[in-house]
């Protein structure tokens, strides 16, 4: 059952008076520590799917998400630094300080990792908050189950973000997304990556030399051309893993889209 924990209740639960909001400063450390305690409790109970009502993993996770969302929506809490929470949740900010993204592991089990993300965006003296994941039947889909770890303001309030994910089986993938605020939400571009809404690139885990890179000076995404490998060289036995062809390919940003560079 989803339950939204209000900021007022949050403060009272920490033993603080509601009059804290009438003061010029808010006890940011208390709020940071409270969010951290909820997420740590979720992590400690990540295998408990049928525990006491309200204390099973999914109930705690919903509590964390609701509390984080309400905290991010509260303008009086805009300067909370999240020093404690950042030890467990990946937090990145844009260079213009308008966009923050919070990404966390939902510990789905096994080698297929599910990450969720929430953004806070400053627009017209207001705060917009929402998820950066796409869901279907309560499942995160469309390669949005990643943690975002790089953000670049690229053009007229457009942001290029880079995320990491893995579906197991010895592989990992990287996703580039071009985000902008429209119709009240932060959303992906429409076909700006050579016809796709995102640029997704999967490699064999542990081959860091194959991780795609973005150059903010030239506004180029560079990545290795890949080719299938085969077990013992047998062309009838593909390994399911790729290796570099030795050729570097590039997407360059022009007129609001990333297009392939000519050789």
pLDDT digits (tens, 9 = 90+) for 19-42: 333 344 568 899 999 999 999 999
> Residue 62 belongs to what H/E stretch?
helix 57-73
pLDDT, one tens digit per residue, over 70-122 is: 999 999 999 899 999 999 999 999 999 999 999 999 998 778 899 999 999 99
pLDDT of residue 17: 31
**pLDDT < 70 regions, the chain:** 1-26, 51, 53, 237, 263
Q: What is the pLDDT of residue 195?
A: 94
Query: Of the candidates 68, 168, 60, which has an alpha carbon nearest to the alpha carbon of residue 110?
Result: 168
Given this model, what pLDDT does residue 26 score? 66
Per the listing, tokens 């929402």 go with: 130
Using alpha carbons, select from 156, 8, 14 the residue that is nearest to residue 71.
8
Query: Strands 134-136, 126-131: parallel, antiparallel or unpaired by DSSP?
Result: unpaired
- At 48 the pLDDT is 87
The pTM (predicted TM-score) of the whole model is 0.86
The predicted structure's pLDDT at residue 233: 77
Which H/E stretch holds residue 115?
Answer: strand 115-123
* CA atoms of 202 and 134, how far apart (whole Å): 19
Domain range annotation of the chain? 1-88
What is residue 25's predicted lDDT score, i.e. its pLDDT?
A: 54
């Amino acid at each position: 059952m989803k339950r939204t924990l209000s900021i007022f209740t949050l403060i009272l639960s920490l033993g603080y008076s509601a009059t804290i909001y009438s003061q010029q400063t808010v006890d940011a450390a208390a709020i940071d520590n409270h969010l951290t305690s909820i997420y740590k409790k979720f992590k400690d109970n990540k295998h408990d799917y049928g525990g006491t009502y309200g204390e099973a993993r999914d109930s705690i996770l919903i509590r964390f998400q609701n509390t984080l969302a309400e905290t991010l929506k509260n303008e009086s809490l805009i300067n909370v630094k999240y020093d404690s929470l950042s030890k467990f949740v990946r937090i990145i900010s844009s260079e213009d300080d308008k966009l923050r993204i919070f990404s966390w592991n939902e510990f789905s089990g096994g080698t297929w990792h599910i990450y969720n993300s929430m953004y806070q965006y400053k627009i017209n003296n207001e705060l917009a908050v929402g998820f950066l994941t796409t869901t279907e039947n309560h499942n995160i889909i469309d390669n949005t189950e990643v943690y975002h770890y790089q953000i670049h303001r690229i053009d007229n309030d457009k942001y290029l973000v880079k995320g990491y994910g893995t579906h197991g089986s010895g592989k990992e993938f990287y996703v580039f997304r071009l985000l902008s605020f429209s119709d009240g939400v932060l959303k992906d571009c429409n076909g700006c990556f050579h016809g796709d809404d995102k640029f997704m690139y999967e490699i064999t885990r542990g081959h860091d030399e194959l991780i795609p890179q973005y150059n903010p000076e030239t506004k180029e995404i560079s990545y290795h051309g890949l080719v299938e490998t085969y077990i013992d060289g047998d062309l009838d036995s593909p390994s399911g893993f790729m290796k570099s062809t030795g050729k570097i390919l590039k997407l360059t940003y022009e007129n609001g889209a990333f297009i392939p560079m000519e050789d």
